[in-house]
Amino acid sequence: MSWWKTGIFYQIYPRSFMDSNDDGIGDLRGITDRLDYLAWLGVDAIWLSPCFPSPMKDFGYDVADYIDIHPDFGTLTDFDALIAAAKRRDMRVILDLVPNHTSDQHAWFIESRSSRDNPKRDWYIWHDPKPDDSPPNNWMSYFGGPAWRFDETTGQYYLHNFLAEQPDLNWRNPAVKAAIFDAMRFWFERGVAGFRVDTIDRMLKDPELRDNPPNPDWQPGDNPTEQFLRVYSENRPGIHELIAEFRPVFDEYKDRVIIGEIAYSMNPHDITGFYGTDEQPELHLPFNFALILLAWDAATIRRFVDTYESLLPPDSWPNYVLGNHDRQRLFSRLGDAQGRVAAMLLLTLRGTPFIYQGEELGMHDGYVAREDFQDPQGRNIGISRDYCRTPFHWSPGEYAGFSTVKPWLPVAADYRARNVETEMFDPTSTLNFYRHLMHLRRWHPALHAGAYRALDAIDGCYVYLREQGGDRFLIALNFTAAPKVVTLPSLDSASATSLISTHMDEERLDQPVNLAAPLHLRPNEGLLIRLG
């Protein structure tokens, strides 16, 4: 089975992971220095959010050069050292590819905007103003305001679905494809194991630039950028064929993985549609964000997982995500007790788990005052992603051991209790809970590769089996704050042992379980039981 099916991924937000040179910004050497921590934790692959040269208007998602490293993060030599150090620990590194747009400081855009007949003019999407000088249509930027910026030099508007400093590339131009595919090869040659590809489903826009229709559900006070449905500004016919064109570039190298960021959806069809077909394979792993979006309710989650499983094309592999650098942190969203239940779900389902840095500490969102917002989305429309991007907590010391100087974002208030140093020595900590589960998942084929089957359970609980040959597990998760008693069907096993509980107390560590009697779950308890 491929490494990216059996392994556990860990997302690093480089600015906030570890600062090695005392400038308040995390960097590549900081990551290399802390690989032993990740190996100890049980991580198989790290995904780095963008670390390329960038004016940092969108903190790296505005790329000014696809084939170099931003000086804040280090150099290409530091990058090579990181890859080598990861390899020694049998850990893979994947990068973040941002093909939908570049920075307005990218050499391609500087050329493109220089004149209407520049050879790179058509690398971006330019259009004349309407007769009254207004933008070509009503498309809106995700970060607020129109998706068009007027450029004085040439008297046309250019399209930017995100910031005006992030002009959209024209993916209908073959030269754009060739240039991005070459950038991918540059990193593959350096030993990168794959890419997480930003907004991959939204790269094609309507060539006629038709107006988006109004969103019937939108009401004043809602996110202003959702006033229109993004029908024509993204995800147009042809997108599946375009995504499929990425695959041969991955296949030129051995064992590389393509993970795609697609629109957040609770509908499993929307996700499974991006695996492609045998004739036209698309993504190895189209990100599944449903666990972030769905109501946290056992029946709802079970229904989703079962449907998602049933819709997966043959030979394709599921994946699950509980958080990332764009969303409220897991433990802030669900609370500490259900945060652990969610972690047990993530680490025992069939499918590649993605952990966002700090989740394993039970980190909460930080506090950032409005006037200190760094994130353009926060500054423009008030929905700040700074809260989930505060520095990682290494110790209870100053600046949480992240840096010796004031970090680029404030350290979150909970760092004294939730940090690696303190939690490492507390046997009941969230960190030790994650670590224990991650190692169980790695060790047992049933957990990283086995089949999945849900059992009918009482309201509020989600109970399922993972099985591979004689290796069998029962997972029972209580999604409520009340005690529950679950009656199990006959499981045809001679013995059962509870290996770990979310509560991390002795009561359930390596204790025999009587399967003939109903199973008692404490409030907010998840149990992993090995069947003999």
Answer for the pair 332, 311: CB distance below 8 angstroms, yes or no: no
Which residues in the 325-364 window bind ligand NOJ by CB under 6 A? 325-326
**Does the active-site annotation cover 226?**
no
d(CA 54, CA 61): 8
Beta strands at 148-151 and 285-286: parallel, antiparallel or unpaired: unpaired
Instruction: Fill in the per-residue mask, 281 to 320: x = in contact with ligand NOJ (CB under 6 A), - = not in contact.
Output: ----------------------------------------
Among residues 33 and 306, whose Cβ is nearest to Ca ion? 33
d(CA 404, CA 244): 46
Among residues 287 and 479, whose Cβ is nearest to ligand NOJ? 287
Answer for the pair 329, 358: CB distance below 8 angstroms, yes or no: yes
Q: Which of 8, 25, 38, 400 contacts Ca ion by CB under 5 A?
A: 25
Task: Tell me the closest approach of the beta carbon of residue 48 to ligand NOJ, in angstroms.
Answer: 13
Q: Which of 78, 165, 198, 414 is catalytic?
A: 198
Task: Tell me the closest approach of the beta carbon of residue 119 to ligand NOJ, in angstroms.
Answer: 26
Under the criterion CB under 6 A, does residue 168 sit at the interface with ligand NOJ? no
Under the criterion CB under 6 A, does residue 423 sit at the interface with ligand NOJ? no
Under the criterion CB under 5 A, does residue 78 sit at the interface with Ca ion? no
* Interaction partner, residue 58 (Ca ion, ligand NOJ, none; CB < 5-8 Å by kind): ligand NOJ
Task: Tell me the closest approach of the beta carbon of residue 405 to Ca ion, in angstroms.
Answer: 9
d(CA 353, CA 347): 6
Among residues 246 and 479, whose Cβ is nearest to ligand NOJ? 246
* Interaction partner, residue 525 (Ca ion, ligand NOJ, none; CB < 5-8 Å by kind): none
* Interaction partner, residue 198 (Ca ion, ligand NOJ, none; CB < 5-8 Å by kind): ligand NOJ
Residues forming a β-bridge with 111: none
d(CA 358, CA 92): 19
* Interaction partner, residue 25 (ligand NOJ, Ca ion, none; CB < 5-8 Å by kind): Ca ion
Question: How many helical (H) and strand (E) elements, i.e. helices and strands, does the chain have?
Answer: 15, 19
Among residues 16 and 332, whose Cβ is nearest to Ca ion? 16
Task: Tell me the closest approach of the beta carbon of residue 199 to ligand NOJ, in angstroms.
Answer: 5
Among residues 104 and 261, whose Cβ is nearest to ligand NOJ? 261
For residue 499, the one-letter residue type is: L
Task: Tell me the closest approach of the beta carbon of residue 439 to ligand NOJ, in angstroms.
Answer: 29
Which residues in the 27-66 window bind Ca ion by CB under 5 A? 27
Q: Which of 252, 255, 398, 510 is catalytic?
A: 252
Tokens 């930027």 -> residue = 141
Tokens 């100890």 -> residue = 40
Which residues in the 80-109 window bind ligand NOJ by CB under 6 A? 98
For residue 216, the one-letter residue type is: P
Which of these ranges, 23-31, 76-84, 352-360, 430-438, lies near Ca ion under the rule CB under 5 A?
23-31
Written in H, E and C, the secondary structure of 111-122 is HHCCCCCCCCHH
d(CA 242, CA 194): 18
Task: Tell me the closest approach of the beta carbon of residue 186 to ligand NOJ, in angstroms.
Answer: 20
Answer for the pair 190, 75: CB distance below 8 angstroms, yes or no: no
* Interaction partner, residue 21 (ligand NOJ, Ca ion, none; CB < 5-8 Å by kind): Ca ion
d(CA 299, CA 459): 7
* Interaction partner, residue 162 (ligand NOJ, Ca ion, none; CB < 5-8 Å by kind): ligand NOJ
Query: Which of 188, 189, 121, 184 has the alpha carbon at shortest distance from 158?
Result: 121
Task: Tell me the closest approach of the beta carbon of residue 73 to Ca ion, in angstroms.
Answer: 8
Q: Which of 20, 170, 199, 502 contacts ligand NOJ by CB under 6 A?
A: 199
Number of neighbours of residue 511 by Cβ within 10 angstroms: 13
Task: Tell me the closest approach of the beta carbon of residue 101 to ligand NOJ, in angstroms.
Answer: 7
Q: Which of 44, 58, 78, 282 contacts ligand NOJ by CB under 6 A?
A: 58
SS3 378: helix
Answer for the pair 503, 319: CB distance below 8 angstroms, yes or no: no
Task: Tell me the closest approach of the beta carbon of residue 433 to Ca ion, in angstroms.
Answer: 30
Which residues in the 134-163 window bind ligand NOJ by CB under 6 A? 162
Among residues 10 and 402, whose Cβ is nearest to Ca ion? 402
Q: Copy the structure tokens of residue 104.
A: 């307005």
Report the alpha-carbon angle 192-343-453, nearest 5.
95
The full DSSP string for 150-189 is EETTTTEEEE-SS-TTSPBB-TTSHHHHHHHHHHHHHHHH
Residues forming a β-bridge with 194: 94, 257
* Number of shown-chain residues binding ligand NOJ (CB under 6 A): 9
Instruction: Fill in the per-residue mask, 232 to 261: x = in contact with ligand NOJ (CB under 6 A), - = not in contact.
Output: -----------------------------x
Q: Any residues with CB less than 8 A from the CB of 387 and at least 6 apart, and which? A: 328, 329, 332, 365, 366, 367, 368
CA 4 to chain centre: 14
Among residues 385 and 441, whose Cβ is nearest to ligand NOJ? 385
Q: Any residues with CB less than 8 A from the CB of 451 and at least 6 apart, and which? A: 350, 465, 466, 467, 468
Q: Which of 3, 6, 21, 471 contacts Ca ion by CB under 5 A?
A: 21
Under the criterion CB under 5 A, does residue 19 sit at the interface with Ca ion? yes
Task: Tell me the closest approach of the beta carbon of residue 77 to Ca ion, in angstroms.
Answer: 15
CA dihedral (370, 373, 376, 381) in degrees, to 10, reads -10
Under the criterion CB under 6 A, does residue 61 sit at the interface with ligand NOJ? yes
**Does the active-site annotation cover 252?**
yes
Q: Copy the structure tokens of residue 153.
A: 């030099």
Number of neighbours of residue 236 by Cβ within 10 angstroms: 17
Footprint of Ca ion (CB under 5 A): 19, 21, 23, 25, 27
Footprint of ligand NOJ (CB under 6 A): 58, 61, 98, 162, 198-199, 261, 325-326
Q: Which residues are catalytic?
A: 198, 252
